[in-house]
């Protein structure tokens, strides 16, 4: 696979092979695009929840959705895990994958931007859900609109035969808010 350079990213965006809505050109780095933190956060109702059972079905009732304005920070406490979302809406073509990484400036504050979901499949479109945690010993303010993560794009050897947007089992296609886990939809035997 080949990683796209800033020149290739700009060309792909101009041709609308890659679509990133609400982005400005200054978010494009040498080999990636910075994405900004949205204003919606999901937090577990930890004082009310005895456990999470992945086979139980919809777990939305176990989480609260918190919305902040541009001028309000969300405070993530030490050891806390939250779901957040990007401000930008992303469409990845059938010929590429994207890799989501936290920015090192946030990592140096103890903020982990994604726990496991680092790959964005060919054909995905939507706002990206961020699986965030604070592994430091102090609370950190998360400001909506802050550059929080980056996407790197890689060309595949051929277009995907069954891209994400055409698979009936795609659970997070066209998501717009911090999506809850839909693991109960997996085929568990």
Catalytic residues: 131
Q: Between the CA of residue 42 and those of 89, 96, 137, what are the distances in Å? A: 18, 29, 21
Six-digit token string for 22: 């609400």
Residue 120 pairs in a beta bridge with 98
| Max CA distance (Å), the chain | 50
H helix or E strand, kind and range, residue 9: helix 6-14
The angle at the Cα of 18, spanning 102 to 103, to the nearest 5 degrees, equals: 10
| CB neighbours of residue 146 within 10 Å | 15
Q: N- to C-terminal Cα distance for the chain?
A: 34
Neighbours of 129 (CB within 10 A): 22
Q: For residue 130, what are the β-bridge partners?
A: 84
């Amino acid at each position: 696979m080949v990683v796209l350079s800033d020149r290739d990213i700009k060309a792909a965006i101009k041709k609308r092979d890659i679509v990133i809505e609400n982005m400005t050109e200054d978010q494009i780095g040498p080999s990636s695009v910075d994405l900004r933190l949205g204003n919606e956060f999901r937090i577990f109702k930890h004082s009310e929840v005895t456990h999470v059972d992945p086979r139980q079905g919809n777990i939305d009732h176990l989480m609260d959705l918190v919305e902040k304005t541009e001028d309000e920070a969300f405070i993530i406490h030490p050891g806390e895990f939250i779901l957040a979302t990007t401000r930008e809406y992303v469409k990845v073509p059938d010929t590429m994958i994207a890799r989501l990484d936290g920015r090192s400036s946030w990592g140096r504050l103890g903020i982990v931007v994604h726990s496991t979901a680092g790959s964005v499949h060919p054909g995905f479109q939507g706002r990206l859900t961020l699986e965030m945690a604070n592994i430091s010993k102090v609370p950190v303010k998360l400001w909506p609109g802050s550059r929080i993560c980056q996407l790197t794009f890689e060309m595949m050897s051929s277009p995907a035969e069954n891209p994400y947007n055409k698979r009936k089992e795609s659970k997070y296609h066209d998501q717009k808010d911090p999506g809850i886990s839909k693991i109960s939809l997996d085929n568990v035997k």
